[in-house]
Structure 1
Amino acid sequence: MSLSPRPDRARLLASDNLRMVGKLVLIAGLMFGFGYGLVPMYRAICTALGINVLSVSERNLPGQTRAGQAANTQVDRSRTITVEFDANARGPWDFKPAITSLQVHPGELATVMYEFRNRQPRTMAAQAIPSYAPKQATSYFNKLECFCFNEYTLAPQESKQWPVVFVIDPKLPKDVTTITLSYTFFEVGGKTPPAPGSVAAGPAALAGKAGS
């Protein structure tokens, strides 16, 4: 006696299997398409809502602007702003920017490192205050990360590096082509010095009022 299924039953099983395979292939295709289209959909939503999301990998190396990445629609590449960096040390220590100037486009994320070394034979606590020139640029210079107004303790001969991550607002007036960012670093506990009245390293005069 043969145990083989009847021909009509075999055809029915084969048809069911084919339908199941087809459904699985369709589901896999839809999942792949959804995953592939998720990134451009996310970017389109962020662009429509005016959200600019930057991952850690998109941040600059010290003293450099971003390169080799997708264009940011919020960057005004028709303009170039020269940002000058200045440091004023009020005491026996070394304080300076890693670079003296950087050219950026409005809306472009940029980073500069400031270097500090305590040359004293004792531990000290200090902090920095910023100022800008021209004064009208203060409200357009947006710092995402900054060491200003924070108090730091440094051991004798200890060295530190601190980043300043910033973006210049594209609404910056058209006649402003150069901005000077200056920091005055002073020891906490002493009299806070006034913002510098001039910058030796740059042509622009600094504002008398410190910005945040």
Structure 2
Amino acid sequence: MGMINSNPKANVLMLKKLFIFTLIMFAFGYALVPFYEKFCEVTGINNLLNPDVLSKDNWVDEERWLAVEFDANARGLPWSFKSLQTNARIHPGEPITVMYEITNNSDREIAGQAIPSYSPRYLEKHLKKLECFCFTKQVLKPKETRQMPVQFVIDPSLPVEINTVTISYTFFELPEGVNVIKK
């Protein structure tokens, strides 16, 4: 038979340790919110626009052309993911919408999150996304196909020596019960 600890001092000590552990975990969870926001700011994830991004002060540099290449990948997912347009030629400051298509090739419902990456690396400072499937978790039913838009503007302040940029999205599976925090 197991022994039950009837020592009141040991029970009080354990209760204090559990209380301190609970406080530390609460503080850690509370601190994750600003950490996540800073991480998103630095990496360009969830780069939501302010309504004034396309204000009358913004302009289109019609003297300059940019080649934009689009890339799509799925890592560890039984999904087919592609851009319906592999490249575009645009003027800096000109809004553009590109459609992506994703298919769940499995027999189960799967949740995924797209993570963007850019080339050149500092492009995220000049890329203003108006709409993107990468802002939220995507849940696809078995064999479901979905088309999703990305709408963005590349600021004319992008250095003039840059004439080709690449925008890439990679989908990763989200474990069951994980939700994406939206800004």
Quickly name the TM-score band, shorter chain normalised: 0.5 to 0.7
| Residue 122 (str. 1) matches residue 108 (str. 2) | yes
Q: Provide the residue aligned with 2:29 in structure 1.
A: none
- Asked which structure has the greater CA Rg, the reply is 1
Deviant stretches of 4+, over 2 Å: 50-53
Taking every aligned residue pair, what percent have the same amino acid on both sides? 52
What's the Cα RMSD here? 2.0
Q: Provide the residue aligned with 1:51 in structure 2.
A: 55
Tell me which of 182, 186, 190 is aligned to 2:168: 182
Distance in structure 1 (CA, Å) of the matches to 2:156 and 2:67: 14
How far apart are 1:51 and its partner, in Å? 2.7
Deviations 1:132-162 (A, max 9, x none): 0011222101111111141111110001111
Which structure has more relative contact order (CA 8 Å, sep 6+)? It is: 2
Q: Any stretches of 5+ residues in structure 1 without a counterpart?
A: 1-49, 54-72, 191-212
How far apart are 1:52 and its partner, in Å? 3.4
Q: Provide the residue aligned with 2:72 in structure 1.
A: 87
Distance in structure 2 (CA, Å) of the matches to 1:51 and 1:124: 39
How far apart are 1:173 and its partner, in Å? 0.3
How far apart are 1:74 and its partner, in Å? 1.2
Give runs of aligned pairs for residues 128-207 of structure 1, distance below 5 A.
Answer: 128-189=114-175
> Which residue identity does 2:141 align to in structure 1?
A
Q: TM-score scaled by structure 2?
A: 0.63
Does the 8 Å contact 1:129/1:149 carry over to 2?
A: no
Q: TM-score scaled by structure 1?
A: 0.55
Q: SS state of the match for residue 148, structure 1?
A: helix
> Which residue identity does 2:55 align to in structure 1?
I
Distance in structure 2 (CA, Å) of the matches to 1:52 and 1:147: 27
How far apart are 1:78 and its partner, in Å? 0.5
Q: Provide the residue aligned with 1:75 in structure 2.
A: 60
